Structure 1
Amino acid sequence: MTVLLAVLALLLGGGAAPASAEPNEGGTKKLRDALEAAAKGHLEAKAKLENSRRRQVELTNELKAVEVRLVGLNAQVGEVAAQSYRLGRLTTASALLNSASPEAFLQRAAELDVMGQRDARRLHEYQIAQATAAQAKLAIDVEVREQQKQVAALAKRKRDAEQALATVSSGASGGFSGSARSATPAKRNSDGSWPAESCSVNDPTTDGCITARTLHALRQAQAAGYKRYVKCYRPGGDGEHPKGRACDFSAATSTFKDETATGGDKAYGDSLANYFQKNADRLGVLYVIWYRQIWLPNTGWRAYSGSGSPAADHTNHVHLSMN
């Protein structure tokens, strides 16, 4: 009977993994909330900073174009002023006095009207160009202040993340090396920020749901060759899994093993962790945990210790959390 059950287990895929092999997000709810807030705040400030820098470039180019136009308009306005100085203002009275006949008078009056319209148009265009240049300069000053604000916000978010990690981290770590294929960028808002997403897409790894951005990251990783066992949605708990914003990628081929990865399994996890870190900005990665290290966009790789088990220390799987 025992032999028969063993055979059936093999035919059905080896049976369920031990409960202790199932991954967890590690740390306390307070730690996870703090890391999420710090990472999200960093990504939001970074998007605002980059958007402000793009806007400043646009305004600077606009200002340069207006200043070039002002040079030409300034020359035209100078001609009007010089002409007025030399000839004085041509009025209907002076045109009449200097006209030898009614026909000459009408011709001079028409010339007066044309000159007046031309000069008024030149002066109006000059005034508009001056106002546009002044507005562009003020707008550039606003963008500079916005950038200073966001740089300060980035520094604060980094401090927040480091303070949150203080209880579980001994400081900076080396991370993981290896070549990383560039992922296709996920969709962003027009201002560069990440759109809010709910757990509304079918999770291909479970019978649950995930966000569209999480699914995109999963598919991009698989397209890059990372096709070992993965599980995303997990009901219950207070982390990102029940929100559809996290996936666990096993270092082993077919399931989660209750053992620390070594050899080819360790190399696979190293490469995958490096892939997500290198493509974090393209995919919308919030943080990555692998082999007693955690990566956040505002701190880089940091040492990260769990309770000592392969699941808690993330030495048997790569954890991915998405924005």
Structure 2
Amino acid sequence: MITRGTHSRATTSGGSVVQDDRGSLGKDLFGGCTILIIGVVLCLVFALGGVGVIFYQSGQDGAPGGIVADTDFDPEDLGGSAARQPCEIPGAPFGAGNVTALTCASHQVILAEFSDLVRDGNCHRAGSGGYGDEHPLGQACDYMIITGGQMPGSNSPEKANGDQIAAFARDNYEELGVLYVIWWNKIWNPRSYQSDTPDLPLNQWRLYADGQYTNNPTLGHYDHPHISFCGAISPSGQDSARPCP
């Protein structure tokens, strides 16, 4: 005998009444589904709320929420000295040469994060040594993300690599003692060094050198992010020290 539905019979004084168990089963299913739906809704609320907090926190200064630098030094302690010392990093794309203690420490942190993205570069080299040219002071590094003189495409992997390095330096400017960052023909610095100019907003990238190097891959800093570190003093003494932000 094939049974298509299950039901029971109850007898009353007025006769027999057929009670279909599917009714009670439907009620149980409805109740269970209601509880399940409420649970799913609550989980979604909590999940979306958490995601919202993450996006809110990472976007507070307009930053992409970069990696937090793992440092074991205080830039204010290291940034006060202009003395240069050898800083060679075995196995890295390039050593820093003779640089300040802060530049060496920060350079090591940056390469620890991005050595696989950097093709070449330099830190110490000849130049004027004034504000805007900290290389001769051993207080700036260039991180080449493509062969020097080549222009990366705006949607290229090299451009994305440079974006990561520049964002890392900016997001961790206090931990690394960053004076300013130049990348993709724009410059970012966390403070102004002119007494009549207020500190700049932390999410502000400005056109570099008034855009005069727009078509130059190297001078426009399209082929490498440039990072200068605090404490720079020119050899002639004309520039005052730039304290760490």
TM-score under structure 1 length normalisation: 0.41
- Higher strand residue share: 2
User: For the structure 1 residues 176 and 317, does the alpha-carbon distance in structure 2 shift closer, same or farther, using more than 3 Å as the test?
Assistant: farther
Q: Percent same amino acid among aligned pairs?
A: 29
Distance of 1:286 and 1:246 partners within structure 2: 9
Q: Equivalent residue for 2:163?
A: 270
- When the two chains are superposed, the root-mean-square deviation of aligned CA atoms in Å is 2.6
Instruction: Tell me the residue number matched to 2:104.
Output: 215
Higher radius of gyration, 1 or 2: 1
- Name 1:310's counterpart in structure 2: 217
Matches within 5 A, 1:37-76: none
Q: 1:261–1:216: structure 2 CA closer, same or farther, 3 Å change rule?
A: farther
Sort the Cα spacing of 1:321 and 1:178 in 2 relative to 1 into closer, same or farther, 3 A: same
- Structure 2: runs of 5 or more not aligned: 1-60, 192-199, 231-245
- Relative distance call for 1:314 and 1:176 in structure 2 (3 A) is farther
Partner-residue secondary structure (3-state), 1:281: helix
**Residue 69 (structure 2) aligns with:** 183
| Aligned ranges 1:1-323 → 2 under 5 Å | 178-185=64-71, 186-188=73-75, 194-204=79-89, 205=94, 208-227=97-116, 228=118, 229-238=120-129, 239-252=133-146, 255-262=147-154, 263-298=156-191, 299=200, 300-304=204-208, 305-307=211-213, 308-323=215-230
Residues 21-72 of structure 1, C-alpha deviations (whole Å, 9 max, x = no match)? xxxxxxxxxxxxxxxxxxxxxxxxxxxxxxxxxxxxxxxxxxxxxxxxxxxx
Helix, strand or coil: the match of 2:225? strand
What stretches of structure 1 of length at least 5 have no aligned partner? 1-174
**Post-superposition shift, 1:176?**
8.3
Query: Structure 1 residues 207 and 281, CA, compared in 2 at 3 Å: closer, same or farther?
Result: closer
Give 1:240 deviation, angstroms. 0.7
Query: What is the DSSP-based 3-state SS (H/G/I as helix, E as strand, rest coil) of the residue aligned with 2:128?
Result: coil
- List structure 1 segments (4+ residues) > 4 angstroms apart after TM superposition: none
Structure (1 or 2) with the greater helix fraction: 1
- The letter of the residue matching 2:122 is K
Instruction: From the superposition, tell whether residues 177 and 316 of structure 1 become closer, same or farther in structure 2 (CA, over 3 Å).
Output: farther
Q: Using a 3 Å threshold, how does the CA distance of structure 1 residues 301 and 207 change in structure 2: closer, same or farther?
A: closer
Q: 1:318 to 1:261 in 2, by over 3 A?
A: farther
Q: TM-score, normalised by structure 2?
A: 0.52
**Residues 215-272 of structure 1: per-residue CA shift (max 9 Å, x gap):** 11111112223431222111233321111001001122xx424324441000001111
SS in 1 for 2:136: helix
Opposite residue 235 of structure 1, the aligned amino acid is A
